[in-house]
């Protein structure tokens, strides 16, 4: 894990009883000229859904003109993972990516997945390998990390293809209809989480994501690992909402890793050093100490010749640590100190 630059702790909260407000991540913006057949922007039920639903496996995917932009982006990422898995020396193997593309698509022209493919595919492959390795390293070297929150595009197959410690709970936060399409497509194919582990989904469109995760068992008094890759984040404001959500939920000492996209509201071209400084301040404001990871360093570590620079890619790898107490910890402190005060009052009364 990269060394994190030591920074002064962020300002303490005003009082143990103060609680930060619960924020809802705004639904991703609906791209123009997209059909409403996959993402209508409606708010989903606030109750998170598990993957054990009884829906049958999906049929053929919609025609290209009917594909919602969020689904199309997830399919393009799956296509890259499938292509990487077929290499003679792959950076990773995703046995489920081809299934997500469906049997029908596999026998038809897939130009619509290639023509607007994700930019800098080498970086996507490198990022996927880096995050895979970082997840395995963290959970294998800590007996405390048993809550993992994946912030994804809805077609992340890590719950099925990575080995998770016993009693791990994996939460997937992603666009609801994309996740549903992926779940139906994978049904009956043997895609399962590790034994004695569970995967639970919370739709990105939920009215209150924090409440949904808490209702489904997320415990802010336990260490957690948050992984960001693929979640639709278009502006720094959406990132700020996400950081506040994590800061509210994650116990002090929890880890956040992943890749930050290029934000449309950032002036372009922006010097990457200045952009990193800006993002570092944003993380620190919400209680996180962040360290950015250079792509060329990761590529060198795994023996990959990556010619594209960070400035050309526009995305950034990062590792962050939560420095603040979660809402659940603050509530536990409030209850504990309340009991101490009550005990002191009773003891004083007895002395009188």
Per CATH, is 49-347 categorized as 3.20.20.80? no
Quote the percentage of the chain above a pLDDT of 90.
53
Q: How is residue 65 annotated by DSSP?
A: G
Cα gap 53→39, rounded to integer Å: 20
Contact 158, 148 (CB under 8 A): no
Average pLDDT score over residue span 11-31: 45
Order of strands, sheet of 169-174, starting from the edge strand that comes earlier in the sequence: 49-50, 198-203, 169-174, 147-151, 224-228, 255-260, 316-322, 288-293
Please state which of the ranges 42-46, 84-88, 273-277 shows the lowest mean pLDDT: 42-46
Residue 322 pLDDT: 97
Cα gap 84→121, rounded to integer Å: 10
Residue 40 pLDDT: 35
Closest CA to 284 of 265, 264, 256, 259: 256
Residue where the block lists tokens 């992603």: 174
Which tokens go with 286? 């919400």
Q: How is residue 66 annotated by DSSP?
A: G
Which tokens go with 197? 């582990």
Q: Coil, strand or helix: which one is 121? A: helix
Residue 274's contacts (CB-CB under 8 Å, 6 or more residues apart) are none
> Any idea where the domains of the chain sit in the sequence?
49-347
pLDDT digits (tens, 9 = 90+) for 301-341: 888 776 655 455 668 899 999 999 999 999 998 987 777 76
Residue 338 pLDDT: 76
Measured distance between the N- and C-terminal CA atoms of the chain, rounded to whole angstroms:
58
β-strand 169-174 against 198-203: which pairing, if any?
Answer: parallel
Residue 65 pLDDT: 46
Say if residue 154's pLDDT is above 50: yes
**For the chain, where are the alpha helices, taking DSSP H only?**
69-85, 97-100, 103-106, 111-114, 121-140, 158-161, 176-186, 209-215, 236-249, 272-285, 295-301, 310-313, 327-351
CA dihedral 206, 75, 32, 231 (to 10 degrees): 40
Residue 345: CB atoms within 10 A of its CB come to 10
Which tokens go with 252? 């002090």
pLDDT digits (tens, 9 = 90+) for 39-55: 333 333 433 444 433 33
Residue 307 pLDDT: 60
Residue 53 pLDDT: 36
Contact 20, 147 (CB under 8 A): no
Residue 262 pLDDT: 76
Residue 306 pLDDT: 67
Please state which of the ranges 71-85, 191-205, 311-325 shows the lowest mean pLDDT: 311-325
Cα gap 113→116, rounded to integer Å: 6
pLDDT digits (tens, 9 = 90+) for 88-147: 999 999 999 999 987 445 444 455 566 445 556 888 999 999 999 999 999 999 999 999
Cα gap 301→250, rounded to integer Å: 30
Residue where the block lists tokens 């890259």: 80
11 band by pLDDT with thresholds 50, 70 and 90: very low
Contact 173, 151 (CB under 8 A): yes
pTM: 0.78
Dihedral sign (CA 54, 60, 64, 65): negative
C-alpha distances (whole Å) from 327 to each of 284, 300, 320 are 17, 40, 19
Residue 339 pLDDT: 77
H/E segment holding residue 256:
strand 255-260
């Amino acid at each position: 894990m990269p060394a994190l630059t030591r920074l002064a702790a962020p300002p303490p909260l005003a009082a143990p009883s103060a609680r930060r407000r619960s924020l809802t991540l705004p639904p991703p913006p609906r791209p123009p000229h997209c059909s409403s057949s996959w993402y209508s922007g409606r708010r989903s039920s606030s109750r998170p859904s598990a993957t054990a639903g009884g829906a049958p496996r999906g049929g053929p995917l919609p025609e290209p003109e009917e594909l919602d932009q969020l689904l199309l982006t997830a399919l393009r990422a799956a296509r890259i993972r499938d292509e990487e898995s077929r290499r003679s020396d792959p950076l990773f193997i995703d046995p489920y990516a081809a299934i997500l593309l469906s049997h029908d698509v596999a026998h038809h022209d897939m130009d619509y997945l290639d023509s607007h493919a994700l930019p800098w595919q080498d970086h996507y492959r490198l990022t996927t390998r880096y995050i895979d390795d970082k997840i395995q390293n963290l959970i294998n070297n800590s007996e405390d990390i048993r809550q993992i929150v994946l912030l994804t595009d809805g077609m992340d197959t890590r719950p099925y293809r990575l080995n998770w410690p016993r009693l791990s709970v994996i939460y997937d936060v992603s666009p609801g209809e994309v996740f549903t399409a992926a779940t139906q497509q994978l049904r009956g194919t043997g895609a399962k989480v590790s034994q004695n582990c569970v995967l639970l989904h919370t739709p990105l469109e939920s009215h209150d994501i924090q409440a949904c995760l808490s209702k489904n068992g997320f415990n802010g008094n336990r260490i957690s690992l948050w992984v960001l890759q693929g979640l639709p984040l278009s502006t720094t404001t959406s990132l700020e909402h996400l950081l506040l959500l994590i800061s509210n939920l994650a116990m002090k000492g929890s880890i956040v890793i992943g890749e930050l996209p290029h934000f449309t509201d950032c002036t372009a071209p922006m010097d990457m050093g200045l952009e990193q400084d800006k993002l570092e301040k944003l993380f620190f404001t919400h209680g996180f100490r962040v360290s950015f990871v250079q792509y060329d360093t990761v590529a060198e570590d795994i023996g990959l010749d990556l010619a594209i620079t960070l400035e050309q890619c526009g995305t950034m790898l990062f590792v962050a640590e939560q420095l603040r107490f979660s809402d659940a910890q603050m509530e536990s402190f409030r209850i504990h100190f309340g009991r101490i005060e009550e005990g002191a009052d009773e003891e004083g009364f007895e002395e009188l």
